[in-house]
Chains A and B, each alone.
Chain A
């Protein structure tokens, strides 16, 4: 058993750390007691891959499968945190048991996928040291990418019309009085030029190296409101190859959209900074900020929709055409009736059809081009349509 793996076991939860969480969960209790007990044997050097190991490994897989099912029952937002924590812990143990069985590259790939699923569905807040150590261990000696990816050429700023107010890197107070308080969408120019990301991320091989092994949810199909749209989990390296690699060909457009990439990959978080503007809240008390990544080729489209929080959309590379409409025009924008799409308009903002959507004539639309280094501030409930005009990476910050 290699020593680096033994080092990892130090980070694994012990029974005392998780006993409280499992008070009302008899099945998880039974299985994790067996799991932690077995790991104590490994720590003290006593074990030989016996039938106890095989049985416990199976039980751990069953625990993960069972809690996957519980997480997928009912609405995701109402799944008890305890279940998501148990799922994450189960995944960690499952990974360890799989690695006890074998540490081949194929097994590490498998474990890598499990770790990422645990991140997406489970709650891993309590065990971030373990997560980082495990990610490092699993990424070592991964298969090298056959084709290097391009280094994108930074776009030169172009003169473009802008239908909303523009400010050049405003001060906090200026932002508060001119944008936040009056709920005025504003294009903030040259506001993030200090982010290392602006230079580093243009080299897609850097992204490949730091994040290539991670599994993320990708949107397929150009419009999330259409029937052909779907979401699936893919490895970032495969997504980058398909969408940015040399042989792009007839690939369907895939979009890494609205994903909390920076909690999954702490190294990338170091390349950006949360803008100070996000500290301005209703009571001047900084709350939590949701940070999401938006990465894709030219032609990705988010149909016109609104979000409930304040939004700062920051452009790292590439450019995006954005069309806005005010909350007061909501009744003229034909929102979908279904539960999922109530915040999405049925119209195609880039191809307005006044015959099927007559009320849209009354709407005042605002167009702009979001370019690298700039941020777009959007107040809550402002409708926005976004289309990438070039391979593009944006980071959004949502806060209340």
Chain B
């Protein structure tokens, strides 16, 4: 297992393995305190990184006063997921219990008590004496957070703006497949291929025609009838891939993160910076050695603050957006890229490898082959 990194690392959030830069793509290998056996869970914030392996949690970066600070904590159970926000890192255990920890040297894991949903899907359990049993704390299955949003989703499909319950998706058929957060919005994908968004939509990130704040999850009508298979949320933008291998992006395009042109032809005036409705992309031919459209169809999309990465089925990585801090790998010769382009020198095994983003970072997790 190898971890490759590119992007903002001025606070020592990631420790480089000594050796040369992988100059073909501009990524460098970083150390991760994990063994090959343990699943490695990583979440990268702006000023620190959070890595979990088994029950151990490692935070690294600018925690109190200087770069290269680090702290190790141990949870009561194996850690299933992490979400590194600015003021708190959310830590989800395999048991479904949720904790939070401040990214500081004297950090402690604090249990998060979520309020019970107003109408629990299961009936109230009663003891043999007829008294109602204490409702079990919700079992959390998904977490995500941004600078101004913290979301948890329970096994009963209750949606929390931690710790309050915002909404509960009705029915047992509703299965949450993915939850992602940008700075101030959330995007949710269910097993049926429907996309819901909520939060601050003033920059079009919710995919709705009217720009406003949505308090509760709303279906993205523009994608109704299209089965979406993968989603992502960046700082102020969102993306989705359909079962047919089509890529949609929407939200803020100030740095080309949507893969749309920033300037009008002529170079003086700008194109709109906000695209409220999902934009369908006509991606160029992949140009890799594999042939056939299906081999190169978009498979997964991942986004950071103002950059977006696309994994195509052949394993090639296509990128767009802000690149000034190295988020897109090797120097691209300008501050941003505003049309998806292939990143040379990277070929992922889509079965074992993963791509993840921090605010200004891109990481490649290359699994055991």
Contact = CB atoms under 8 A, between A and B. Distances in A.
Nearest to A72: B236
Contacts of B147: 70, 73
Contacts of B213: 339
A74 B236 contact: no
Nearest to B252: A72
Contact of B305 (A30, A69, A238): A69
A283 B164 CA distance: 44
A252 B273 CA distance: 18
A77 interface: no
A239 to B, nearest CB: 10
Interface string A256-267: 000000000000
A338 interface: yes
A230 B272 contact: yes
B66 A30 contact: yes
Given A27-B47, A30-B62, A252-B269, A69 B235 contact: yes
A285 interface: no
Given A27-B47, A70-B147, A74-B200, A238 B268 contact: yes
A11 interface: no
Interface residues of A, number: 26
Interface string A38-76: 000000000000000001001101100110011011110
7 contacts: A27-B47, A30-B66, A69-B183, A73-B148, A73-B183, A232-B270, A252-B269
Contacts of B184: 73-74
B40 to A, nearest CB: 26
Interface string A190-233: 00000000000000000000000000000010000000001010
Nearest to A252: B269
Contacts of B66: 30
A354 interface: no
B161 to A, nearest CB: 15
A386 to B, nearest CB: 23
Contacts of B63: 26
B213 to A, nearest CB: 8
Interface in A69-99: 69-70, 72-75
Contacts of B305: 69
B64 A26 contact: yes
Nearest to B306: A69
B111 interface: no
B268 A30 contact: no
A324 B63 CA distance: 57
Contacts of A14: none
* 6 closest cross-chain pairs (CB), A and B: A232-B270, A73-B183, A339-B212, A27-B47, A73-B147, A73-B184
Given A30-B65, A58-B10, A72-B236, A66 B269 contact: no
Given A26-B63, A55-B10, A74-B200, 13 more contacts: A27-B11, A29-B65, A30-B62, A61-B324, A62-B325, A65-B324, A66-B46, A69-B359, A73-B147, A73-B184, A232-B269, A232-B270, A338-B210
B10 A26 contact: no
A59 B272 CA distance: 30
B183 A26 contact: no
Contacts of A65: 324-325
Contacts of B11: 27
Nearest to B272: A230
Contacts of B47: 26-27
B367 interface: no
B51 to A, nearest CB: 20
Contacts of B324: 61, 65
Contact of A26 (B8, B62, B272): B62
Contacts of A252: 269
A58 B324 CA distance: 11
Interface string A273-317: 000000000000000000000000000000000000000000000
B211 interface: yes
Contacts of A70: 147
Contacts of B273: 230
Nearest to A238: B268
B8 A62 contact: yes
Contacts of A338: 210-212
Nearest to A31: B10
